[in-house]
Amino acid sequence: METVLSSARVGDMKEVHALLLKAADKGRLLPRSLADLYQHTRDFYVLKEPDGRPAGCCALSVVWEDLAEIRSLYVREDMRRRGAGSLLTEACMNEAQAMGVSRLFTLTYETAFFTRLGFSEVDKDVLPQKIWADCVHCPKFPDDCDETAMLRRL
C-alpha cells in the first residue's frame, strides 16, 4: 500500500504522541509529553497511509553546530520490515546534510537497523552536548543507560 511521507503538521502531533507512547510502554523509547512534541513539531516527519492513518514518525533534532540527532523513530508494528523506518530516517539524514550538519547520531536498541543505514557504534563520551543537555535529566543516567550510541558522518 502507498504511504505518504511529509513534514509534520500540528494536527499530527496527538497521533505522534500516541505512537510514541506505545514504544515507551515497551521500553523502546523514552516517553515525550504532548507539550514537548508540539514545541518540536518542526523536527518531525510523519509517514501516513492513504486514509491518513499514521504509520510512523521520526524527528531530526539539531544539537550543535556539527551535530544532530535522530530521535523518536517509530514504525507501527504491522508496517515494519517494508522500508518505512529507512524512509523516515533517510528524510532526516537528507535534511541534516542540507542544513550543513556533518555528524548525525542516535541512541538506540536497533543497532542492526542503523548499521544498515551507515551508522557505527561509538562511545557516548563523543557526544558531550547530548549528555549535558538531555542525558543528565534521564532517570536511567548514567549507570542504567542500556542504549547504544551510533554515529554517521554526512
Rounded CA separation 103/57 (Å): 21
| Residue 74 binds to ligand COA (criterion: CB under 6 A) | yes
Residue 98 near ligand COA by CB under 6 A: no
DSSP assigned state of 127: -
From the list 38-46, 81-89, 123-131, 137-145, the region that binds ligand COA by CB under 6 A is: 81-89
C-beta of residue 30 within 8 angstroms of C-beta of residue 72: no
Binding residues with ligand COA: total (CB under 6 A): 20
In the complex, what is the shortest distance from the CB of residue 100 to ligand COA, in angstroms, rounded to a whole number? Answer: 23
Whole-angstrom CA distances from 32 to 15, 22, 97, 122 are 13, 11, 26, 25
DSSP labels for 32-91? --HHHHHHTGGGEEEEE-TTS-EEEEEEEEEEETTEEEEEEEEE-GGGTTSSHHHHHHHH
Residue 137 binds ligand COA, judged by CB under 6 A: no
Nearer to ligand COA, 81 or 137 (CB): 81
Among 5, 28, 135, 145, binds ligand COA (CB under 6 A): 28
Contact with ligand COA (CB under 6 A): which of 63, 103, 108, 119? 108
Q: Which residues sit at the interface with ligand COA, rule CB under 6 A?
A: 23, 28-29, 73-75, 80-86, 106, 108-110, 112-113, 116
